[in-house]
Amino acid sequence: MATSGVLDPGRLHRGVCWLSSLGFDVVVGRHALDRAGHGLAFLAGDDADRAGDLQDAWCDPGTSAVLIARGGTGASRLLDLLDWDAMTAAGPRLLVGSSDVTALHLAVGRRLGVCSLFGPVAAGELLAGGDEPESRTASHLLQAMSRPERELVLTAGEPVTLGPVRAVEAPLVGGTLSLLGAAIGTADEPSAEGAILVLEDVGEAPYRLDRALTHMRRAGVLDGVLGIACGDWSECGRPADVQAVLADRLGTLGVPLLLGLPFGHGPVQLSLPLGASAVLDPAAGALVVPPAG
């Protein structure tokens, strides 16, 4: 599905071919290659068409998973156009994607009560930018989609811990910071109470990260959070400056905080099942999701 930004046809083709080669029956949304919705160059077609594709896919009894092809912007414009009663009646599906897809993750978690997968987009650089998908990203996505008996493990290459160094177990919530902030005050407002909050972003200067995190604190989104796991902060300025903001805004909450996990917009994008229970272990530099069921 194209719920946000305009797709590159070549990448879409490569993403479909890769999934098909693994034995998946891939159906592409009718409007996936539309452009300039509402006269806006950054939207992949009109809101009603993008929402209709998503609705049709979710309510199709043959659908097991709905993979979003890319991020960008525009997913939040669809939320009031979807028939949530019909989507509830259709039963659970696995939503997969990241970045702008955070808006959809918040909505399906709150309105449908289902887990969803914060992972690479199907027609993005890592899965469809070249002849072969990035190996760690692809293998982790496939494991997370099928949720086999093995646990999912994300390990920080150069872990940085702030706050107490103790393991905590709780459901995962969160996604891309700027999208979480944009949902504050809406029907899909995020809450980290009783949860492990996962955060990442791209292209946001340290002062903008500070603004977003301060907004979350003032809005009460971080009240009752049990732990925080941070992924990549790609193109967000000097790592030392980003870390200083995170330490100032998050390190003072008195909960375990682990930086440096390989999810988000970085060169390796591992997958996180939002809504599922996980263990954040700062001492081991790891976030571990036990086997499903």
Active site (catalytic) residues? 99, 200, 265
Shortest CA distance to 4 belongs to which of 65, 76, 84, 111? 76
CA atoms within 13 A on the CB side of 144: 28
Six-digit token string for 80: 């009031």
- Give 183's contacts (C-beta < 8 A, 6+ positions apart): 76, 102, 103, 106, 189, 190
The Cα 12–Cα 31 span in angstroms is: 13
Burial class for 159, CB neighbours closer than 10 Å (0-12, 13-18, 19+): middle
CA separation for the pair 154, 159 (Å, rounded)? 11
Residue with tokens 């998503």: 54
